[in-house]
């Protein structure tokens, strides 16, 4: 919600969730009943992995981001499930970040980013970086 509008960007029931919603409440691709962190992670990966089409032995970087009010513990539960699913298909997680990286006012939920790493990207990702909202390497 933007303060000047005095109305919410969207409305959703206390027992509902939306998959694919934008960071500022843009409509997603599906609404349904609330689920466990593991079930939500599975649903997200079931949509991401077919498009990404990783192969056994591939390396990825993972970012699990809180949209604002999702507790860190829930994000780590999601991260654990991501790792389990990727291990099951032989994909190695080279680097992981879990936390508040891109948030919005009055927003609950999480986003998952998987980046396929070739040798060049992996080398760049390993390069030291230390700035206000991100640290790596």
The helix/strand count (H/E) of the chain reads as 3, 7
User: How many whole angstroms separate alpha carbon 69 and alpha carbon 34?
Assistant: 16
SS3 of 86-106: HHHCCCEEEEEEEECCCCCCC
12 φ/ψ sector (left φ>0, alpha ψ -120 to 50, else beta) = beta
Set 24, 94, 116, 127: catalytic member: 24
Give the angle subtended at the CA of 112 by the CAs of 76 and 11, to the nearest 5°.
100
**Does the annotation count 24 as an active-site position?**
yes
Which tokens belong to 90? 């032989």
Q: Mind telling me the catalytic residues?
A: 24
């Amino acid at each position: 919600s933007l303060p000047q509008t005095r109305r919410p960007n969207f409305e959703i029931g206390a027992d509902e969730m939306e998959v694919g919603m934008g960071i500022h409440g843009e409509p997603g691709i599906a609404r349904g009943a609330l689920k466990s962190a593991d079930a939500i992670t599975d649903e997200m990966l079931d949509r991401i992995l077919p498009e990404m089409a990783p192969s056994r032995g591939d390396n990825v970087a993972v970012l699990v981001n809180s949209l604002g009010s999702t507790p860190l513990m829930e994000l780590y539960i999601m991260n654990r499930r991501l790792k389990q699913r990727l291990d099951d298909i032989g994909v190695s997680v080279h680097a992981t970040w879990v936390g508040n990286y891109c948030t919005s006012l009055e927003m609950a939920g999480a986003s998952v980013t998987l980046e396929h790493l070739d040798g060049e990207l992996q080398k760049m990702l390993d390069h030291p970086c230390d700035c206000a909202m991100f640290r790596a390497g």
